Structure 1
Amino acid sequence: MAKHNPQGKNLFLETIVYGLLIIGVIVIILPILYVVMTSFATEKEYLTRGFFIIPHEFTLEGYSYLLKNGSFIKAFKNAVEITVIGTFINIVITTLMAYGLSKKYIKGRSFLNFIVVFTLIFSGGMIPTYLVVDSLGLMNTFGALWFSTAIAPFNLIVMRSFFTRLPDELFDSARIDGAGEWRILFSIVLPLSKAAIATFTLFYMVYNWNTYFHAILYLHDNNKWPLQVFLKLMLVEGDADFGQQEIQGVNFTHSARMAAILITALPLLCVYPFFQKHFNKGMLLGSIKD
């Protein structure tokens, strides 16, 4: 009678798992590597070779063309302004509202929490939101992007849950020492909330940097369009129709398009390592207890 060999079975399963992981890594890395290498290739090589990983001749023509293009520079500046100011507005309003809703003695707290959860399930819709933005005079301004999405209900709920988990003894001792709510918030709550704030700052940064639909919906002036709209024009339509910066009859080369993709992704790739150490911890905070 044959003996059961658990070690051989485990080795077989580990081989399958590692093999699948290697295949998954290749599937993920290969397109990224192709985009990176194509951005350094000449147009002639791209047209003649088709798919390749390592170009025969490296060139910076695509990057040089983009950095000299006024439309690209303007779109990049718009994206930076939208992201920096928008993220600041998002995190300030979310933090203040979450801190207020975490206090059980606030009158009407349950009703306000219900409204937040309700908006998480049922949104106002595109047309009502558009009418509100228009009635407030925010059309064709960056304020339409900032204030129409100032709070993400999910982020607010998680941050409120995190504030709820802070021990009441901290607040009681601070009040005994004469600290007010603003002093408690800035001196006690915020220092203890670095992980949560860093996590949601990253979420809001990614959302603001990648904004596209709201940009084409609320911004009628082409000169105010952010980088994602410019990238869509490059990749889909082939040229950039940006008002006075319009390039008549000139199509971007494939290396310039790939370079634009990399430059668009680069800022978030540079920022993410600074938030990574807080990311995992921040995702777990507030998820256990409401």
Structure 2
Amino acid sequence: MIRRQQQRKGRRRRRRRRRKRRRRRRKRKRRRFSLTGYVVAVMFRRQQQDSMEVTSLMRTAMLLLLAQDHVSCSQKAAFPRVDPNRRQLFEYEPLAVSCEGLEGLTGWRVMRRIRGLVGTCSPHWSTSTGACRITNAIQGDTGEYWCEMGAARTGSVNITVTGGPVILESPVLPVAAGEATTLSCRGQRGTSSLTADFYKDGRLMENSSSLNITILGVSKSNEGLYACSLSGETSPASWLLVRAEEPHPFPPPLHLLAIGVGVSFVALLLLVGILQRWKRRAAPGDPPPLPGFVSSTR
């Protein structure tokens, strides 16, 4: 009887031990699966962060390229807009000089230099911005006009207001080389003269019965002081500006373009790799433990 009881107790102990072992094995498997999932989640998060960083770097590179393209396309100097669009006016004619919208910006201020003195269009414009409008221009408004905004400044135009009976109508802005331009001689109260004489640098250039001349294929040699006369009355002289023709750059060959794109891409990848390596050195080696997770090696 005693042996049988001992044998039964031994069997029960062995069963309990087996059950405990099975439970431990199940717990270990669960913990392993949870730890693996946690590590995978952490790695996935890091990959997402890396991909976001790569996307951000790519966007930055694209913005830099677009900005450089915009800068290269906006190298031409800007000039104020003048109404009427001519360099000479009769006295008491209206004059408007505006700068708003130049280079896509607002806040420009109209400045002028008259008899060596620099100032705004009129005293009440000293603290404000906008167009400079003169209802009745006088000879004292003759001078150089331009636009300013902070340290930025546009090109300048010379406006002449005359009390005489004749003016020369010439373009306000510089004429591009290779284009055509027209100069006209105009009398204030009409004229009985059938011809107009045009002068360049004080020398007679041409007689015209239509009171205007057209210069075809303008070049730098056409720059100078122009004036005209009607019925013995001569207009003030105005300077004709010619803008040099800009050479059209040839597009780079396709293989050079491909090499440039490849080098940029490799440099970007190297930058991302260095950033990841620096992050791994700065961050701890192992991920933080899960809440409620206790490692067991039993």
Rg larger in structure? 2
Instruction: Give the TM-score range, shorter chain.
Output: under 0.3
- Greater helix fraction, Structure 1 or Structure 2: 1
For normalisation by structure 1, the TM-score amounts to 0.28
- Greater strand fraction, Structure 1 or Structure 2: 2
